[in-house]
Copies of this chain bind each other. A is one copy, B any other.
Amino acid sequence: MAERGKAPPANPWAPTKDRAGQRALKRDAVLRTAAQLFSEKGYAASTLDEVAVRLGVSKPTVYYYVDSKDAILFECVHTGLQMLQQAIRDVDAAGGRAIDKLEAAMRAYVAIVTQDFGMCVIRVGEDPLPPASRHKLRRMKAALDNEFRELIRLGIAEGSIAPCDPKLAAFTVAGALSWIGRWYRPDGDLAPEAIADQAIAVLTRGLCGALPAAPRATPRRR
């Protein structure tokens, strides 16, 4: 997840002997370029012509790797959601307290929604797609919501999270973090890590959370 939003992919059209690997690389470049375009201009205003122009290839070349604009959007959102799912699985596998897992999941979430596919999940999402695709992606989103909810539930049970409505608390967390994907600019002066630090501080300790009236054992992260 070290990749920053708009870094141009290495040129996958350079000659090579590894045909299958090259095909996968080229397909990824098409998807990534389309994800950037959709996030910048909106789905309706984006064309595969422009994807081709950005990649310096012909439109038929683009169609060699993908079937349609809808298929591209599906792949972009699906990939972004898979990244988010994998991040939660990694966090879970690392073990520890629920609150620590939740913090790690929040950090990974910010890292992903500030990258091409994750940003496309937030800014475009599944809404423009036909019902079957939309339904599949929504199920993935609901599963992710549930992971956050479960971590909050476990945190309450272990005593690291204050009693609250896990569903609404999870929506608050996901909302605050998802919004970052809406305003984040890869060429701006804020690094995703710094944004994550501040958002996590507000969400875990609260705007009023580190006041002299209620000092906390752990120092506030800057």
Contact = CB atoms under 8 A, between A and B. Distances in A.
A165 B197 CA distance: 10
B211 A209 contact: no
A171 interface: yes
Which of A159, A208, A220 lies at the interface centre, i.e. has the most chain B CB atoms within 10 A of its CB? A208
Contacts of A163: 210, 220
Contact of A205 (B127, B179, B199, B206): B206
Interface in A179-222: 179-180, 182-183, 190, 194-195, 198-199, 201-217, 220
A207 B175 contact: no
Nearest to A199: B172
A171 B202 CA distance: 11
B160 A208 contact: yes
A84 interface: no
A44 interface: yes
Q: State the number of copies, please.
A: 2
Interface string A156-186: 0001111111001101111111111011000
A99 interface: yes
A188 to B, nearest CB: 11
A42 interface: yes
Given A159-B211, A178-B179, 12 more contacts: A162-B208, A164-B207, A168-B194, A171-B179, A172-B176, A172-B198, A175-B178, A175-B182, A203-B203, A203-B207, A205-B206, A206-B206
